[in-house]
Chain A
């Protein structure tokens, strides 16, 4: 069979049948029992499942406990396996959908489309594709109830929530605790959730999930929404785009390359894929490529920057001269609520080793700005219910409207999966989420402004939407880290 070509859902021709066949396959898969690995429920439960959630009510008979342990609740988050696991997951899903379509009398070359919401050259790129909103959930298999996106006042994803700044991260693997989240996330073992999310996972992945909301806003139900698969196809595409930018490469660590994950093929047979088997998309099952994304360095950085409205860091990795070191912390947990909350963080001088390392590397402390990256950490973030997104501002003037101080915004806390990550289970430790925001650029702007104090930083968390009555969010600790390094080609 020839290599599949995954196309942009935004560029499908009017007479293209990709989505109509997808809708028919979704309906057919929904009719299969959850004990069938080719059913819609089973495929979604491989990502996440929780019998107590409303979206899973009425799922019917489910597989044995042993089978659920082996195949359900397997999604990898907060981990360097986030990208390869989802690539495998999508490949088997695409295979199952394609076979279903053939069984329904459709074409043999169906492939999963992707949703490139970051493309600024296309109108309505940030609104849900029409095929997913027309009709009702009863009449259109691609339309599901409860999504927040598409409601009045929330018709499109805010531009900053689909930013591709993660492509600027040149290292795949996260730094030690407190430093860069890396493009692909931290080194972990099998990691179903919680912990520190990698750069691409945090933005745009998490943000798109929670902005769409409804069942997409929770990893335990997200894959029940048909848009989930197009969103993740785009995330998978961005991995190849990142590699094409040059100066970036996948980990070569044996524990990463040799990690196996369990799936089912289209005929229900157990299947295992190893990370090193999915690094070239043309070799994944029957193989696939993305339309407009060559497999080797063909992406023009300027064109990408223009399309996505960003400026990317040049290739080359950041050569560390010292590990990340803590410069200060807010030494009490913070309960977040429906109102904005401001807290102060005392900044200490760089510890002696950091200063010594800088000195040894020939860099004076007076030029700290260009060689030190600074990170704001939100650790042990726990919660319950549907928590809002929190936007994070630095040194916001008292009483000021955050909306007119975008230059002080350093990012957002999506809270994707916070409820699940807060509960100790067979799949996660219950330590909550850990977000890392790079604040180097905003700090350099703030430093130049009158009133800047070297010893204190005010952090304001602003909820973007109203908080549900039963929702709670607690940040275990906010800390500030700095990492010294120099960029090398």
Chain B
């Protein structure tokens, strides 16, 4: 009994030092859902959540081959996009969330993180909406043959991952990577503090979008699978953690994804 109590006390202590634990839990859940969807998908999209997810992941092929895919409902699009964010982007926020939690009064730690995530997610969801709208427009305006040529796996991989490789070498991206580490000590209490946390989330979200938009868009466009997502998430996490301008290493990974997608 004493052992169990000690274990529980330790766990409580661990949670005190890692108040962002539930965000990792949410990200892990998202990976499991993606894995389940991938296992069920088998190339042809099943109904329900898996449909949304894999439609998201395989936009060009499915939309080009199946006209019904052009009319994916908005909530499905955003749902799939949000799940991808949850799995790939939320782990990158580990240090931001932990710093914000400790910079907040004890009773507000989790509320501060929720406010931050709300602001952060809003930026990426808006980008997802915009990207979705542009794709829809593209599909509605272009003929089927042209679509098939434009969104052929090789050409879309070259466009998507090629852009991601080039983006790695721009000073804008270096600035964005550093800006992802901005820290902010929220002032006040109640809604004043909530809005400060949400605004901080918006700023970090904007920096993160400028940093990662190219690779995320490439993954979205190229009909990637879970291994590609996992590789990209790992590289981004490593780079974010070390904040080393390891441009060549990151570019090599994106180049590898390009070759893999084109194969």
Contacts and interface: CB of A to CB of B under 8 A. Distances in A.
Nearest to A179: B102
Contacts of B181: 188-189, 429, 431
Contacts of B189: 331
Nearest to B100: A177
A323 B185 contact: no
Specify which of B9, B171, B183, B184 lies most central, judged by the most chain A CB atoms within 10 Å of its CB: B183
Given A323-B17, A353-B16, A430-B179, A477 B102 contact: no
Interface string A361-378: 000000000000000010
A479 B175 contact: no
B144 interface: no
A476 B16 contact: no
A178 B103 contact: yes
A242 to B, nearest CB: 25
Interface in A170-195: 176-178, 188-191, 195
- Please indicate which of the listed interface residues B13, B104, B188, B189 has the most CB atoms of chain A within 10 Å of its own CB: B13
A426 B171 contact: yes
A373 B99 CA distance: 20
* Most interface-central of B98, B102, B174, B179 (chain A CB within 10 A): B102
Contacts of B241: 189, 255
Contacts of B179: 424, 429-430
A65 B170 CA distance: 11
B240 A426 contact: no
Interface of A: 65, 69-70, 176-178, 188-191, 195, 255, 259-260, 322-326, 329, 331-333, 348, 351, 353-354, 357, 360, 377, 379-380, 424-431, 434, 476-477, 479
A177 B175 contact: no
A477 B241 CA distance: 26
Interface stretch (B21-29, B42-50, B242-250): B242-250
B97 to A, nearest CB: 12
Nearest to A188: B243
B259 interface: no
B245 A431 contact: no
Given A69-B245, A431-B181, 11 more contacts: A176-B17, A177-B102, A177-B103, A178-B103, A322-B13, A326-B104, A379-B185, A426-B171, A430-B182, A434-B183, A477-B185
Contact of A380 (B17, B107, B183): B183
B71 interface: no
A377 B185 CA distance: 10
Contact of B106 (A325, A332, A476): A325
Nearest to A194: B183
Interface residues of B, number: 34
Contact of A329 (B106, B180, B187): B187
Contact of A176 (B98, B105, B171, B175): B98
B123 interface: no
Contacts of A332: 187
A322 B103 contact: no
Contacts of A351: 105-107
A189 B242 contact: yes
Question: Would you list the 4 A-B pairs with minimal beta carbon distance, nearest first?
Answer: A189-B243, A177-B102, A379-B185, A351-B106
Contact of B175 (A325, A331, A426): A426
Chain A contact residues, majority secondary structure: loop
Contacts of A380: 183-185
B165 to A, nearest CB: 16
Nearest to A426: B174
A260 B17 CA distance: 28
A431 B182 contact: yes
A418 to B, nearest CB: 15
Nearest to B174: A426
Contacts of A477: 185-187
A353 B106 contact: yes
A353 B183 CA distance: 25
A326 B185 CA distance: 12
A247 B171 CA distance: 44
A290 to B, nearest CB: 30
Contacts of A65: 171
A324 B186 CA distance: 16
B178 interface: yes
A178 B187 contact: no
B96 to A, nearest CB: 11
A311 B29 CA distance: 52
Contacts of A69: 171, 174, 245
Nearest to A176: B102
10 contacts: A176-B98, A326-B103, A326-B105, A331-B188, A351-B105, A426-B171, A429-B178, A476-B184, A476-B187, A477-B187
Given A331-B189, A351-B107, A323 B242 contact: no
Contacts of A427: 178
Nearest to A432: B183
A333 B187 contact: yes
B183 A195 contact: yes
Interface in B1-58: 9, 13, 16-17
B21 to A, nearest CB: 13
Nearest to B9: A360
Nearest to A333: B187
